[in-house]
């Protein structure tokens, strides 16, 4: 495709994404479905360019003020993730001059807002939560997340998977904390590889793998994944249970549970029972009360721990939305807790980095449920032989951060029912 035609497409796609009517990944996928002739390299350039602009939107909007032509074209030029000479071939001479000037700006002299690229409400909340660690976090959120895999222990061993990937030209190394994880170099088209198709691996951030380890299900147990969604954690739990016992995958979204099905088929698991519920107090939930060994509540949340993958969230979330989520999180956690039998383990998790959705929810639950005793996440992870488990926790809670652990941002609290 001619460079200018690709830049035009980037401009058009960016216009749609920046309306923020829908999640960026959905807008990008439907754009690609409407432009079937785009090759993998062109898709890669377009998607990465859009994400680069979302990550540094405030900086690029500032730099774009000096140029001319459609704003989205200027933003796409600034965020361009293809090669420079290709882009240069698309630019008029006045654009080339402007682009060179924009690239020569010393970013370190600009106001801090243009350096962290976060909305005020979020920058304020993260500064008070993190103090001087705010800047390392903000910088880590400008980078794309690595590609992590979870080896399906039911079907394969990590070393064998690594060797097979290497033979196919894909370099991978064991993740530092999860015993099931591999971190892959680059972004190979894994979904077409035999090793993926036969269910030996799933794409899963190392942080999510650690959450499943925290639930720690055993053979033959009854386990509930209360907010199972498309089942990322369900699959890890089912494999940890060695395909025994019963694992209920509940969710209010039939669409998300539907996405679990092909993954379940690949995984070889037959101990998983997906079930749609109307809400957290559904009859199906009530029937399980007091019977369950372990419950994971991977609660609906702002998703702000995944900003490396979903940078549009910082522009789509708001304090009001967080407040509404908080009410939902309290209600789901209280309802899910009723399922546990005495001695059972409850895990509340989010992929948020805001205390309101994390420590505040856990503390309120502890206050109102004296029969649930907080358990130290570090102790559980140490028992699961996770290296350096102390570095993954804050008080009793699991606290994962992109800038510290190279995972998405995650929180988890654990209780045992008396
Ligand atoms: C963070 S996502 C879950 C991700 C999933 N566990 C995974 O690992 O792929 C939160 C899920 O909670 C579901 N949800 C929202 N309200 C719920 C409710 N009242 N009861 C159960 N699930 C709910 C959403 O549909 C969404 O799939």
- Does the CB atom of residue 230 touch ligand 1 within 6 A? yes
Please provide residue 92's backbone torsions phi and psi, each rounded to the nearest 5 degrees. -70, 165
- Does the CB atom of residue 221 touch ligand 1 within 6 A? no
Residue 104 CA to ligand 1 center (angstroms) comes to 45
pLDDT at residue 217, rounded to an integer: 98
Same domain? 250 vs 306: yes
pLDDT at residue 1, rounded to an integer: 86
For tokens 């290296």, name the residue.
387
- Taking a C-beta distance cutoff of 8 angstroms, is the pair 250, 281 a contact? no
Q: Which atom of ligand 1 is nearest to the CA of 351?
A: 1
Same domain? 192 vs 228: no
Residue 334 CA to ligand 1 center (angstroms) comes to 15
Q: How many residues does the chain have?
A: 418
Same domain? 104 vs 171: no
Residue 120, Cβ neighbours under 10 Å: how many? 8
Instruction: Say whether 312 sits in a helix, a strand or coil.
Output: coil
Same domain? 355 vs 237: yes
Distance CA 364, CA 361 (A): 5
Residue 333 CA to ligand 1 center (angstroms) comes to 12
What digits encode the pLDDT tens for the residues 156-207?
A: 999 999 999 999 999 999 999 999 999 999 989 899 999 999 999 999 999 9
What digits encode the pLDDT tens for the residues 78-121?
A: 999 999 999 999 999 999 999 999 999 999 999 999 999 999 99
Same domain? 264 vs 194: no
Instruction: Say whether 300 sits in a helix, a strand or coil.
Output: coil
- Does the CB atom of residue 357 touch ligand 1 within 6 A? no
Q: Which atom of ligand 1 is nearest to the CA of 331?
A: 19
Ranges assigned E (strand) in 252-350:
272-276, 292-298, 340-350
- pLDDT exceeds cutoff 90 at 23: yes
Same domain? 75 vs 166: no
- pLDDT exceeds cutoff 90 at 398: yes
- Residue 414: closest CA among 243, 274, 204, 212: 212
pLDDT at residue 43, rounded to an integer: 96
pLDDT at residue 227, rounded to an integer: 98
- Residue 123: closest CA among 115, 402, 79: 115
- Does the CB atom of residue 113 touch ligand 1 within 6 A? no
For tokens 């090669």, name the residue.
83
What is the residue-wise DSSP string for 165-193?
HHHTT--EEE-SS-TTEEEESS---GGGS
What is the residue-wise DSSP string for 224-259?
EETT-TT-HHHHHHHHHTTT-SEEEEEES-HHHHHH
Mean pLDDT of all residues in the chain? 97
Q: How confident is the model at residue 65 (pLDDT cuts 50, 70, 90)?
A: very high
Residue 383, Cβ neighbours under 10 Å: how many? 11
Distance CA 334, CA 367 (A): 12
Same domain? 263 vs 371: yes
- Does the CB atom of residue 227 touch ligand 1 within 6 A? yes
- Taking a C-beta distance cutoff of 8 angstroms, is the pair 73, 11 a contact? yes
Q: Which atom of ligand 1 is nearest to the CA of 230?
A: 9
Which helix (H) or strand (E) segment holds residue 96: the answer is helix 93-103
Q: Which atom of ligand 1 is nearest to the CA of 301?
A: 1
Domain finish residue from 161, 184, 203: 203
**Do β-strands 340-350 and 292-298 pair in parallel, antiparallel, or remain unpaired?**
parallel
Distance CA 5, CA 348 (A): 48
What digits encode the pLDDT tens for the residues 318-353?
A: 999 999 999 999 999 999 999 999 999 999 999 999
Known binding site for S-adenosyl-L-methionine: residues?
251, 298
Q: Region 381-391: what's the mean pLDDT?
A: 97
Distance CA 77, CA 98 (A): 10
Structural domain for 194, as ranges: 147-203
Q: Region 276-280: what's the mean pLDDT?
A: 98
Same domain? 194 vs 221: no
Q: How many domains does the chain have?
A: 3
Q: Report pTM.
A: 0.96
Share of the chain above pLDDT 70, in %: 100
Given 288, 351, 381, 412, the catalytic residue: 351
Same domain? 197 vs 251: no
User: In this prediction, does ipTM exceed 0.95?
Assistant: yes
Residue 123 lies in a domain: no
Residue 61 CA to ligand 1 center (angstroms) comes to 34
Domain finish residue from 157, 188, 203: 203
Same domain? 7 vs 111: yes
Q: 122-131 long-range CB contacts below 8 Å, 24 or more apart?
A: 122/304, 122/314, 122/317, 125/354, 125/355, 126/353, 126/354, 129/353, 129/354, 129/355
Q: Region 125-144: what's the mean pLDDT?
A: 97
351 is catalytic: yes
**What CATH number does residue 371 fall under?**
3.40.50.150
Domain finish residue from 69, 97, 115: 115
- pLDDT exceeds cutoff 90 at 155: yes
Same domain? 177 vs 289: no
Residue 128 lies in a domain: no
- Taking a C-beta distance cutoff of 8 angstroms, is the pair 312, 20 a contact? yes
For tokens 């990008």, name the residue.
28
Distance CA 5, CA 282 (A): 52
Output b/e per residue, 50-61; b: 16+ Cβ within 10 A: bbbbbbbbbbbb
């Amino acid at each position: 495709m001619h460079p200018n035609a690709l830049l035009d497409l980037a401009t058009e796609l960016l216009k749609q994404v920046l309306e923020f009517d829908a999640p960026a990944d959905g807008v990008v996928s439907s754009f690609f479905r409407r432009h079937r002739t785009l090759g993998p390299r062109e898709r890669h350039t377009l998607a990465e360019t859009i994400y680069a602009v979302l990550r540094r939107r405030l900086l690029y909007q500032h730099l774009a003020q000096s140029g001319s032509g459609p704003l989205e074209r200027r933003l796409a030029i600034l965020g361009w993730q293809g090669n420079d000479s290709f882009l240069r071939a698309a630019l008029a001479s006045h654009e080339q001059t402007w682009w060179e000037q924009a690239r020569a700006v010393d970013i370190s002299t600009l106001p801090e807002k243009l350096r962290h690229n976060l909305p005020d409400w979020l920058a304020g909340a993260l500064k008070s939560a993190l103090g001087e660690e705010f800047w390392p976090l903000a910088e880590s959120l400008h980078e794309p997340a690595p590609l992590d895999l979870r080896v399906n222990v039911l079907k394969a061993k990590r070393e064998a998977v690594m060797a097979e990937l290497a033979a196919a030209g894909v370099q991978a190394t064991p993740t530092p904390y999860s015993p099931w994880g591999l971190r892959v170099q680059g972004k190979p088209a894994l979904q077409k590889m035999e090793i993926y198709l036969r269910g030996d691996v799933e794409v899963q951030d190392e942080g999510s793998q650690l959450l499943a380890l925290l639930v720690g299900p055993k053979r033959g147990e009854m386990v509930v994944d209360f907010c199972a969604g498309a089942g990322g954690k369900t699959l890890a739990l089912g494999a940890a249970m060695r395909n025994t016992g019963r694992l209920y995958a509940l969710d209010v979204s039939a669409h998300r549970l539907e996405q679990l099905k092909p993954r379940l088929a690949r995984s070889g698991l037959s101990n998983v029972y997906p079930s749609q519920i109307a809400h957290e107090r559904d009859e199906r939930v009530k029937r399980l009360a007091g019977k369950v060994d372990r419950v994971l509540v991977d609660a609906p949340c702002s998703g702000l721990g995944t900003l490396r993958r979903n940078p549009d969230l910082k522009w789509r979330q708001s304090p009001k939305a967080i407040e509404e989520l908080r009410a939902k999180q309290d209600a789901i956690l209280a309802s899910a807790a009723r399922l546990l039998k005495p001695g059972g383990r409850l895990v509340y998790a989010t992929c948020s980095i805001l205390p309101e959705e994390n420590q505040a929810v856990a503390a309120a639950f502890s206050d109102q449920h004296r029969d649930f005793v907080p358990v130290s996440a570090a102790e559980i992870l140490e028992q699961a032989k996770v290296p350096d488990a102390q570095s993954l926790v804050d008080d009793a809670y699991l606290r994962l951060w992109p800038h510290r652990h190279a995972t998405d941002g995650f929180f988890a609290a654990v209780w045992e029912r008396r």
